[in-house]
Amino acid sequence: MGDIDPAFIQSTEHRANNHKNAVEAVEIPVIDMFGSREELISRIGKACEEWGFFQVTNHGVSSEVSSRAEAVAKKFFEQSTEEKRKVKRDEVNAMGYHDGEHTKNVRDWKEVFDYLVQNSAQVPLIESHEKQELRTITNQWPQHPHDFREALQDYAREVEKLAFKLLELISLSLGLAADKFHGCFKDQLSMVRLNHYPPCPFPDLALGVGRHKDAGALTVLGQDDVGGLQVKRKSDGEWIPVTPTPGAFIINVGDIVQVWSNDKYESVEHRVVVNRERERFSIPFFFFPSHKVMVKPVEELVNEEENPAKYREYNWGHFYAHRNRSDFKKLHVDNIQISHFRILD
């Protein structure tokens, strides 16, 4: 089967042990969104606190829209590398096709296509801390498949509605107004990613995506029936596989909600394992606020005596720009994390 490029090889302690059975028959919560509002708020709050992850059914996103997005994604990745690289992204234009992404400085066994929900957006130049100079990033759309752009824009619009609905329920579960965070998403940087994980001849050495936490507010993930997502259980640090539920979306809290909630809801590590036999497709929606947003613990949730703020505020645009640059090369230091803004006890 040949050798594997050393760039893909995970260090021993971070490899997936594919020969080991699942720790136990445990699943992240599955929440039916047809439930009463009070029950939804309670169940989502509990899931955010205990797991940082949950699945939702009866979520309102059309199965036809999802199926069409999945179909055009598969057609796109079936094209030649030469064709896909006609819309290849780089350090200047962060949207488009990419097949060399790194997580924790190890290359992921996957290829992706990224696009913005709003088609173009402004982000700060990393070097411009004082002047807040901006650059514009714009979607690159391939010529083929012919209905690619239309299908994926329809998908983004529907999933965005679900993301706002979930954000309202999470806000209410924290005792805040339902629309507390809506203003943060005017001129948002939200994006959708198409993931393709080819079969891997060395699944014991590589990962589709290495262990990581999501930097945004929420992630709404659609996936096929192959499976591969694993969540690090908060109670004991064990990796728990997430079994695909037909028609469901997997939701996870990101770093921004962790900071807003002052650590009440934690952004949890997760990863993707690969296998020898089957390719896997998934479509995450990353709910990102505007580049202007300053992220800090919500004032209503902190007080100096009992629950002081655990983070200094940071600018989301600069955070995003730093993260984006690291996608293209191996760094000598860890990427920027919210822990860099933590106020030490």
Instruction: Kindly report whether the peptide bond that precedes residue 289 is cis, defined as omega within 30 degrees of 0.
Output: no
CA dihedral (306, 309, 310, 315) in degrees, to 10, reads 170
Rounded to whole angstroms, how far apart are CA atoms 235 and 258? 17
Rounded to whole angstroms, how far apart are CA atoms 255 and 342? 12
Cβ 272 vs Cβ 284: under 8 Å? no
pLDDT at 327: 47
Residues 6+ apart with CB under 8 A from 304: none
SS3 assignment, position 47: helix
Q: Under the phi-then-psi rule, with left for phi > 0, alpha for psi from -120 to 50, and beta for the rest, what region is 119?
A: left
Nearest to 195 by CA among 141, 251, 115, 256: 115
pLDDT at 22: 46
Q: Under the phi-then-psi rule, with left for phi > 0, alpha for psi from -120 to 50, and beta for the rest, what region is 177?
A: beta
pLDDT at 19: 41
Place of tokens 């505020």: 313
Cβ 269 vs Cβ 254: under 8 Å? no
Rounded to whole angstroms, how far apart are CA atoms 186 and 77? 32
Nearest to 99 by CA among 280, 142, 109, 322: 109
**Residue-level pLDDT, tens digit, the chain, 345 residues:** 357 888 888 988 888 874 444 454 578 999 999 989 999 999 999 999 999 999 999 999 999 999 999 999 999 999 999 999 999 998 778 899 999 888 888 899 999 999 999 999 988 886 555 566 888 999 999 999 999 999 999 999 999 999 999 999 999 999 999 999 999 999 999 999 999 999 999 999 999 999 999 999 999 999 999 999 999 999 899 999 999 999 999 999 999 999 999 999 999 999 999 999 999 999 999 999 999 999 999 999 999 889 999 999 999 999 998 877 654 454 444 578 999 999 966
Rounded to whole angstroms, how far apart are CA atoms 147 and 321? 30
Amino acid at 35: G
- Cα–Cα distances (Å) from 323 to 71, 173, 214, 294, 320, in that order, read 29, 29, 11, 16, 5
- Cα–Cα distances (Å) from 146 to 3, 64, 84, 139, in that order, read 37, 18, 14, 16
Nearest to 253 by CA among 233, 272, 268: 268
Q: Which segments of 62-193 does DSSP mark as H helices, in order?
A: 63-77, 81-84, 148-173
N- to C-terminal Cα separation, the chain: 52
